[in-house]
Amino acid sequence: MTVKLSEDTEKRLVASVRRFFEEELDEEIGDLKAARVLDFFIREMAPSVYNQAIADAQAYLTDRVADLNGVHFEPEFDYWER
């Protein structure tokens, strides 16, 4: 899986990585190191997060489709029943 981020998103994420290192680890890093950290996370961890998100969405949709009859069932041939 190749994740391609927009230029704006990538810039914001690099800034976030830099801020994390500075505020949480008391270490200043530049844009290049932050971009490499971001690239690592995207290549190493994003596929697992993506796969779990797809599995969660599939389970959610499967549950909703299975319950479609119960939720949106209309009785047939009930004109004369009124």
What is the tens place of the pLDDT at every residue in 39-72?
A: 999 999 999 999 999 999 999 999 888 877 777 7
What is the tens place of the pLDDT at every residue in 25-48?
A: 999 999 999 999 999 999 999 999
Assigned token pair, 39: 């690239």
Q: Does 19 reside within a domain?
A: yes
Over the Cα atoms of the chain, what is R_g? 24
Q: Which domain holds residue 33?
A: 7-70
Predicted confidence (pLDDT) at residue 1 exceeds the cutoff of 70: no
Q: For residue 10, give every residue at least 6 positions away whose Cβ sits within 8 Å of its Cβ, in sequence order, or none.
A: 35, 38
Q: Does 22 reside within a domain?
A: yes
Confidence at 81, pLDDT banded by 50, 70, 90:
confident
Q: Does 15 reside within a domain?
A: yes
pTM over the 0.85 mark: no
Q: Does 29 reside within a domain?
A: yes
Q: Does 36 reside within a domain?
A: yes
Q: Does 43 reside within a domain?
A: yes
CA distances from 17 to 41, 47, 50 (A): 11, 19, 20
18 exposed, middle or buried (CB, 10 Å; 0-12, 13-18, 19+)? Answer: buried
Number of domains making up the chain: 1
Q: Does 1 reside within a domain?
A: no
Q: Does 80 reside within a domain?
A: no
